[in-house]
């Protein structure tokens, strides 16, 4: 008898994405690997199918229940691997793509993995992409298959626990919860509807580290601070403002709660800067942002945010409310708080490949799709001795990005820039 397909509840963060995802705000992120040679589509498809068979967390389709959405094991054929023909982070239609919530595409030397955020966060996406790369390279280069086992890497966790629920405990203080007060929204002429601009910046990791060290702050604080300063100078023109610039920074909770889940497990903290006088210096903004990020990045504060986020889901009175009412409420709350964030900058972290595969991969990049009220976002990652910062935006004017690179150059960080050509 055929086994009934597995199913599971959505994690706390994932509950939001099916409700708010639209073609314009897809909530799809992209992780790409650029190889040293052109991609072989047939082998990439074969690699995808092999790896997918081992990742139940990616072999899921989204279904609608009476009270909640849920994931059900997708027993349809694995999705096609197509040549890239769309803008990064394009909407993933739940009913097409064989109902899979991710897609693998390629273009010349680049392999792209695009994931609907309900499925997993950047950590989970990266685990899948690395295994996909290993499998592809083993197929493409039989000499690798001789020295490497044809299976998932040792040490890969396939854990699918809901770490939000597991680590949830009711907190007395909800002071740190997301605020609904308005923040600066980056407005201006937009690119044609449906288009998204991409600017990759490539730096030497050592140069960025040295610049951050000069101010006694972490690399992440340095880059977020520089971004906030660029917004302050270019959008607010260095003038005081009644509302703050609020840059959200996702924090991966796995290291704080000893989790290895392949589901979402992160919360947002905010780098907030409210200019109350004229002409703040670069250093003032940088140190101010570093301080606010430092204050929020501690276990107690993260406990509070996690507790606030999960409290409604855990509420026994709210759980039996029909889904269409919950969706309406979630959408209303989201829309009322969306304009409380100016932008988001995420750091995927340092990507390390297993030694035999490294020579075949030149670099990686990550990029985020837009959200309501956020017309520009940034994603950082590092690989070998290189750092890649990718800005994605729907704005036609990218003077903020120009200012960002200009600040870095003044700090001795040299950049190489690559775009997806929408501003040509």
Partner 1 sequence: MNKTEKKSEKKTKHENIEPEIKHMKMCPQCQAVLYDGNETCPLCHCVPEDLSAEDEARVTKEFGAVAPYPDAKKKYRAVKIVLRIALFVLILAAVAMLIVNYTVTPTIKWSFIAIAGEAYAYIMLYYWLKNDSGFAAKVALQIFSTAALVYAVDMLTGNYGWALQWAIPGIILLGDGFVFLLMMMNRSRWHSYLLLLILMGVCSIALAGFFIAGHLEHKLVAMICIAVTGIYILATVIFGQAKISTELKRRFHV
In the sheet with 60-64, reading across from the earlier edge strand, the strands are: 7-9, 69-73, 60-64
Q: How far is the CB of 401 from partner 1 (least distance, A)?
A: 6
Residue nearer to partner 1 on the CB measure, 15 or 398:
398
Mention every residue, 6+ apart, whose C-beta is less than 8 A from residue 281.
none
Q: Following DSSP, what letter does each residue of 346-385 receive, concatenated?
A: EEEEEE---GGGGGGEEEEEEE---BTTB-EEEEEEEETT
Residue nearer to partner 1 on the CB measure, 26 or 259:
26
Q: How far is the CB of 259 from partner 1 (least distance, A)?
A: 23
Residue nearer to partner 1 on the CB measure, 95 or 281:
95
Residue nearer to partner 1 on the CB measure, 149 or 193:
193
Output helix, strand, coil percentages for the chain, rounded to the nearest 5: 35, 25, 40
Q: How far is the CB of 90 from partner 1 (least distance, A)?
A: 8
**Residue closest to 269 by CA, chosen among 221, 202, 321:** 221
CB 36 within 8 A of CB 362: yes
Q: What is the separation of C-alpha 245 from the centre of its chain, rounded to a whole number of angstroms?
A: 20
Residue nearer to partner 1 on the CB measure, 159 or 195:
195
Structure tokens at 30: 């992209």
Q: How far is the CB of 141 from partner 1 (least distance, A)?
A: 18
Q: How far is the CB of 398 from partner 1 (least distance, A)?
A: 6
* Residue with tokens 């994605």, as numbered in its chain: 392
CA distances (Å), origin 256, targets 127, 253, 359: 19, 5, 33
Residue nearer to partner 1 on the CB measure, 203 or 339:
203
Letter string b/e over residues 357-387, b meaning 16 or more CB atoms within 10 A of that residue's CB? beebbbbbbbbbbbbbbbbbbbbbbbbeebb
Residue nearer to partner 1 on the CB measure, 109 or 254:
109
Q: How far is the CB of 202 from partner 1 (least distance, A)?
A: 4
Q: How far is the CB of 323 from partner 1 (least distance, A)?
A: 10
Residue nearer to partner 1 on the CB measure, 21 or 217:
21
Q: How far is the CB of 420 from partner 1 (least distance, A)?
A: 4
Q: How far is the CB of 416 from partner 1 (least distance, A)?
A: 4
Beta strand ranges found along 36-96 (DSSP E): 60-64, 69-73, 82-83
Residue nearer to partner 1 on the CB measure, 216 or 412:
412
Burial of residue 219 (CB within 10 Å: 0-12, 13-18, 19+) is middle
- Strands 376-383 and 343-351, how do they pair? parallel
- Strands 343-351 and 245-252, how do they pair? parallel
- Binding-site ranges for partner 1 (CB under 8 A): 2, 4, 7, 9, 23, 34, 36, 63-68, 70, 72, 75, 83-87, 93-96, 107-110, 192-195, 198-202, 204, 319-320, 362-363, 386, 398, 401-402, 405-406, 409, 414-421, 423-424
């Amino acid at each position: 008898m055929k086994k009934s397909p597995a199913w599971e509840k959505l994690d706390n963060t994932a509950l939001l994405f099916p409700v708010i995802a639209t073609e314009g705000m897809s909530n799809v992120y992209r992780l790409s690997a650029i190889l040293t040679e052109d991609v072989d589509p047939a082998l990439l498809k074969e690699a995808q199918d092999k790896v997918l068979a081992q990742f139940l967390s990616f072999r899921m389709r989204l279904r609608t229940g009476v009270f909640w959405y849920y994931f059900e094991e997708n027993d349809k054929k694995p999705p096609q691997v197509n040549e890239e023909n769309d803008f990064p982070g394009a909407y993933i239609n739940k009913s097409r793509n064989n109902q899979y919530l991710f897609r693998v595409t390629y273009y010349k030397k680049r392999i792209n993995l695009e994931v609907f955020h309900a499925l997993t966060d950047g950590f989970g996406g990266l685990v899948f992409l690395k295994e996909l790369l290993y499998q592809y390279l083993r197929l493409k280069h039989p000499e690798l298959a001789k020295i490497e086992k044809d299976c998932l890497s040792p040490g890969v966790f396939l854990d699918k626990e809901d770490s939000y629920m597991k680590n949830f405990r009711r907190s007395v203080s909800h002071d740190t919860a997301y605020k609904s007060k308005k923040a600066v929204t980056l407005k201006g002429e937009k690119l044609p509807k449906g288009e998204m601009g991409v600017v990759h910046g490539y730096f030497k990791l050592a140069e960025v580290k040295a610049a951050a060290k000069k101010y006694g702050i972490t690399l992440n604080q340095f880059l977020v601070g520089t971004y906030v300063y660029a917004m302050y100078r270019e959008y607010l023109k260095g003038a005081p403002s009644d509302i703050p610039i609020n840059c959200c920074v996702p924090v991966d909770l796995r290291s704080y709660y000893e989790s290895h889940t392949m589901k979402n497990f992160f919360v947002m903290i905010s780098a907030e800067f409210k200019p109350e006088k004229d002409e703040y210096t670069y250093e003032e903004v940088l140190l101010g942002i570093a301080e606010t990020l430092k204050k929020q990045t501690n276990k107690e504060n993260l406990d509070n945010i996690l507790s606030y986020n999960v409290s409604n889901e855990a509420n026994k009175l709210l759980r039996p409310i029909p889904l269409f009412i919950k969706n309406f409420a979630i959408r209303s709350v989201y829309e009322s708080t969306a304009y409380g964030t100016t932008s988001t900058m995420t750091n995927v972290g340092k990507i390390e490949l297993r030694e035999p595969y490294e020579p075949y991969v030149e670099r990686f990049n990550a990029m985020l799709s837009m959200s309501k009220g956020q017309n520009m976002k940034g994603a950082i990652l590092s690989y070998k001795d290189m750092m890649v910062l990718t800005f994605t935006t729907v704005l036609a004017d990218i003077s903020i990005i120009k200012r960002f690179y200009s600040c870095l150059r003044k700090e001795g960080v040299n950049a190489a820039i690559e775009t997806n050509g929408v501003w040509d």
